[in-house]
Amino acid sequence: GLATDALIAAGARGWTHAAVSGAAALVAAAVLVLLERRGGAEPVVNPALLRSRGVLVGLGVGAAVNFALTGDLFVLPLTLHRGPVATGLALLPMTVPFILGPPVTGRVVARFGPRPALLGGTALLTAGAVLLASHVLTVGLLLTGCGVALALPSLAAAVMSAAPEGTAGAAGGLLNAVRQSGATLGVAVAGAFAASHPSVALLVPGVVCAAAGLTLAAVRRS
């Protein structure tokens, strides 16, 4: 929450507010790490999960996908300058893959595993962001929707299969928490650019998804 507040304040040129919130976020994170390292009967995050590269990369991809989805949904209505009904109709192409895509994704994951679906999903989200930033709305929305429909259903399988034995439930809970954090940051970062640089606001999610996809590919090769 403090990190999000810092990003929003920075976007509004409230640099003092942003610095204070950012410093408080760092202090809170440091305290949490110290408490976790002391150990205890019930740590907030199972340390075994944080030692798994597969889990960490899956969490990063999950955060990136939600970052892109919520960032786009926040910025696009502001850039379209249309009424509620017209805006909803304009965004409709993004929702079609949400309905038709999951059965296809399930077959892909069952046959090839979650990794190809995640790589394809992040690639489509990156391409969609580039098109949206270039004002190619319909195709950009379709690619974005296809990317989300391909990546999101694959995340649970990817993270839980990489989790150490006996930690699958904790891994699933951590994935949901990280995804929600990514969504919050997506709105905060996109909102920071939405008024002054809307094209940048639409492109940033693509950069984040490209970084997540490249990291996933690199981890497999290493």
| pLDDT single digits (tens) 37-70 | 665 556 667 777 878 888 899 999 999 999 999 9
User: So what's the pLDDT on residue 75?
Assistant: 93
User: So what's the pLDDT on residue 170?
Assistant: 86
User: So what's the pLDDT on residue 135?
Assistant: 92
User: So what's the pLDDT on residue 195?
Assistant: 77
Secondary structure in 3-state letters for the chain: CHHHHHHHHHHCCCHHHHHHHHHHHHHHHHHHHHHHHHCCCCCCCCHHHHCCHHHHHHHHHHHHHHHHHHHHHHHHHHHHCCCHHHHHHHCHHHHHHHHHHHHHHHHHHHHHCHHHHHHHHHHHHHHHHHHHHCCCHHHHHHHHHHHHHHHHHHHHHHHHHHCCCCCHHHHHHHHHHHHHHHHHHHHHHHHHHHCCCHHHHHHHHHHHHHHHHHHHHHHHHC
User: So what's the pLDDT on residue 21?
Assistant: 60
User: So what's the pLDDT on residue 129?
Assistant: 96
User: So what's the pLDDT on residue 222?
Assistant: 43
Q: Which stretches in the chain have pLDDT values below 50?
A: 221-222
User: So what's the pLDDT on residue 167?
Assistant: 85
